[in-house]
Amino acid sequence: MIDPPRKIPVARLVLGALLVLVLLWLAGEQVISYLRAPLDRKRNQAAQLAKRIERASTRLRGAEKAAGKLKSWQERALPSDPAAARSEYQAWLLELVGRTELAGPSVSSGEPALRGGLYYTINFSLQATGTLDQWTRFLFDFYRAGHLHQIRSIGITPVGRRDELTLSVAIEALALPDADRIDRLTAKTADRLAFDTLEDYRVIAERNLFGLSGLVDPVDHAYLTAINYVDGESKAWFTLRTETDPDRSLVKLGVGESLQVGHFRGTVIDIDREDVILQAAGQRWLVAVGESLAEAFALPPGF
């Protein structure tokens, strides 16, 4: 007699099915991981290669930039012959001093010093006396010159009450063995200055920082002290505290009248109860009662 088939509980069937699914899932993950590993390696290699290419490109750009600078340095450096570089540059300094009419010039130089077998540094010292206007011209021409040079330090000594200054200037210049000249200075000009003409720097001399008024700028001590009405017309009263003459220390201005104090030149264009608007150098400036010209506020266009 044949026994009837045994019934397997549903729970066991479900559990077995789940176990089979888990085993299949784990096997699938192993297969996927096995297949994905080479792809991940390729991706990592590609990423590393991209980084190497970027680093190489950066170095290349740096080399190209350095090559451009080197060419510029070769064109601006003192002559490749160190002895000629020393004498020619010293002669140029003396010529510059003469052109700006500085008095009592003294120029000296040190021996050329080879640095790392790549370039020479030559130190120069200059001492002379002149007005602030003369020194402004000297510095303008110095920085307009295309030489590979720089001022390392400046010592300033006012000379008595003559509105003159004695400057002691330390200068360093560079000579390259592979400069494009052997015994001549470059004729190139430089573009290191913010402004192109000497006139743009005249304001420095007009401030007269080291003149009879010492370190005092008259603009800092020109105050709007009052606004009064004379015959129905508004008048702005400016007190110039650096003036010793009482007749010149108080200036009374109406609309349309001009004021000049030190380097400041302006015209009154409006007078209110507590402030004044001045037009100067293409800009409108608002100064309130009790403020100096140095504290004037630049008004935005259209205000």
Residue 113 sits in the same domain as residue 199: yes
Cα–Cα separations (whole angstroms), residue 77 to 39, 69, 70, 71, 89: 56, 12, 10, 10, 11
Burial of 218 (0-12, 13-18, 19+ CB in 10 A): buried
Ranges 153-162, 184-193, 219-228: which has the least confidence: 153-162
- The CATH number of the domain holding residue 247 is 2.30.30
One-letter amino acid identity for 161?
R
Closest CA to 163 of 208, 199, 200: 208
Buried b (16+ CB within 10 A) or exposed e, 247-265: eeeebebeeeeebebbbbe
Q: What percent of the chain has pLDDT over 70?
A: 73
Q: Choose one of 155, 176, 207: the last residue of a domain.
A: 207
pLDDT, residue 283, reads 85
Domain membership of residue 93 (yes or no) is yes
Domain boundary among 207, 237, 266: 207
Q: State the average pLDDT over residues 168-182.
A: 89
In this structure, is residue 108 part of a structural domain? yes
Number of domains in the chain: 2
Which residues make beta-bridge pairs with 78? 175
Tokens of 94: 């003396």
Give per-residue pLDDT as tens, 263-294.
788 999 999 988 999 998 788 899 999 999 88
Give 231-249 pLDDT, tens digit per residue.
Answer: 889 999 999 988 877 778 8
196 and 231 in a single domain? The answer is no
Give the pLDDT band (50/70/90) at residue 124.
Answer: very high
CATH assignment at residue 142:
3.30.70.60
**pLDDT at residue 223 is higher than 90:** yes
Q: Look at the pTM and tell me if it is higher than 0.75.
A: no
pLDDT of residue 257 exceeding 70:
yes
